[in-house]
Structure 1
Amino acid sequence: MEFKTDRLLIRPFNENDLQDVFHLYNNDAICKYLLHDKWTNENKQEEFHKKLENNVLTKETPLNLAVVSGAEVIGDLAVWYTEMKDTVEIGYTFSQEASGKGYATEAVSSLVKRLFAEYDVHRIQANLDARNEASQKLCERIGMRKEAHFIQDFWSKGEWTDSIVYGMLLSDLD
C-alpha cells in the first residue's frame, strides 16, 4: 500500500529509512506510551528489520508504513487484524518535530479511509494508554468514538496503567 495525501507520502519502509526511524524510536518521550522501550544502537537493526518485513497487510501479518514529509520519515503507521472478523487495529507514532502541524491527522485519516475502501474492513479500533492525551485527541479528530476506559488493566514498564479503546465503522466517516 502506497499513497499520497496533500503533504505526505505514505509507503512501506525501505533500507534508507533506518536513521529517521531510529531518531523516532530512540526517544524516551515518544516511547513512553508505546509497548516497547526506546530503541538502542544494539537493537535498532533488529527492530527496523521487523518494519521492513511488515510491508503487506494480511490476516497473519501486520503492516508498517512510513509517513514521509519531503525526504524525511516523520511517522510510522501500523495496522493489524484482530481476532474479530474484519476488524483491524491501528497504531501510529510521529516525531516530536512533526507535532502540531496536522501531519498525524492527515496521515491517519487517510489510512482509515483506505482501510475501509480497499480492505473492506468492518471496524477499526485503537487501544491507547489513557495518559496519552495527544493520541486521544487524534482519534477524536478523525471521527473515532471513545468506547471504553479500563482502569489499571495493563501492566506497562513497571506500573499499572489505564487503557482507552476507540473505534469506528465506515458509517462514522463524514
Structure 2
Amino acid sequence: MKLQTDRLLIKPFETNHLNDVFKIYNDETTCQFLLHGKWTDENKERKFKKKLKHNQLTKENTLNLAVLVDSEVIGDLSVWYTDMKDTVEIGYTFSKSVSGKGYATEAVSALIDYLFEVVQVHRIQANLDARNTASRNLCERVGMRKEAHFVQDFWNKGEWTDSIVFGMLKSDLENAKDKNLDY
C-alpha cells in the first residue's frame, strides 16, 4: 500500500528507515504524550522491528506507515481495528523538525481518505492525551469532531491523565469537503 500526496509519500516502513525513525522517537518531548517513553540505543532495533512487521491492516494486525519527504521519514501513521464493527483507530507521530509545515495534516487527511474510500471503514477515531494540544488541533483540522473528554481515566507514566476521543464518519469528511474546509 502506497499513498502519494502533493508533497509526501506514505508507505510501509523499510529497514533503511531505522535511523530516521529513531530521530523521531529518541526525543522526550515527542514521546511525552505517547504510551511509551523515548527510544534508546538499546531498544531501538526491537521497537523498529515491530513497525516493519506491521505492514498490512487486518482485523488482527496494526498497520504502521512511514511518512516521507524526499526519502526522509518525517512521521509515523498507525491504524488498527477496534472491537466495534468496521471501526478503526488512528495514531500519528511526527518529527518536531517539521512542525508547522502542514505535513501532519496532509498525511492524516490522505490516510482518512484511504480508509473511507479503499478500506471502506464506517468510523475512524483517535484517542489522545487531553494535554496534547497539537494532536487535538490536528484532529480538528482534518474534520474530526470531539466526542468525549474523560477525566483522569488513564494511568500512564506514573500519573492519571485525561483522555479525549475524536471521531469521524464518511459523511463528516464529505461535509468538510463541501464546505471547502482545509481538512
TM-score, reference length from structure 2: 0.94
Structure 2 CA distance, aligned partners of 1:172 and 1:107? 18
Structure 2 CA distance, aligned partners of 1:140 and 1:69? 24
- 2:133 aligned residue: 133
- 1:95 aligned residue: 95
Letter in 2 for 1:90: I
Letter in 2 for 1:86: D
- 2:146 aligned residue: 146
Q: How does 1:17-166 map to 2 (within 5 A)?
A: 17-166=17-166
Structure 1 CA distance, aligned partners of 2:148 and 2:3? 32
SS in 1 for 2:47: helix
Q: How many residues align?
A: 174
Structure 2 CA distance, aligned partners of 1:171 and 1:59? 23
Structure 2 CA distance, aligned partners of 1:155 and 1:25? 21
Map Cα deviations across residues 17-67 of structure 1 (whole Å, 9 max, x no partner).
000000010110000000011111111010000000000000000000000
Q: CA deviation at 1:146?
A: 0.0
Letter in 2 for 1:139: C
SS in 1 for 2:93: strand
Structure 1 CA distance, aligned partners of 2:108 and 2:65? 11
Q: CA deviation at 1:7?
A: 0.2
Q: CA deviation at 1:139?
A: 0.2
SS in 2 for 1:49: helix
Q: CA deviation at 1:71?
A: 1.8
Structure 2 CA distance, aligned partners of 1:84 and 1:9? 30
Structure 1 CA distance, aligned partners of 2:128 and 2:45? 26
Q: CA deviation at 1:3?
A: 1.2
Map Cα deviations across residues 59-116 of structure 1 (whole Å, 9 max, x no partner).
0000000000012100000000000000000000000001000000000001001000
Letter in 2 for 1:134: A
Structure 2 CA distance, aligned partners of 1:156 and 1:24? 20
Letter in 2 for 1:94: F
| Structure 1 stretches of at least 4 aligned residues deviating more than 4 Å after TM superposition | none
Identical columns (%):
70
Structure 1 CA distance, aligned partners of 2:108 and 2:100? 14
SS in 1 for 2:60: coil
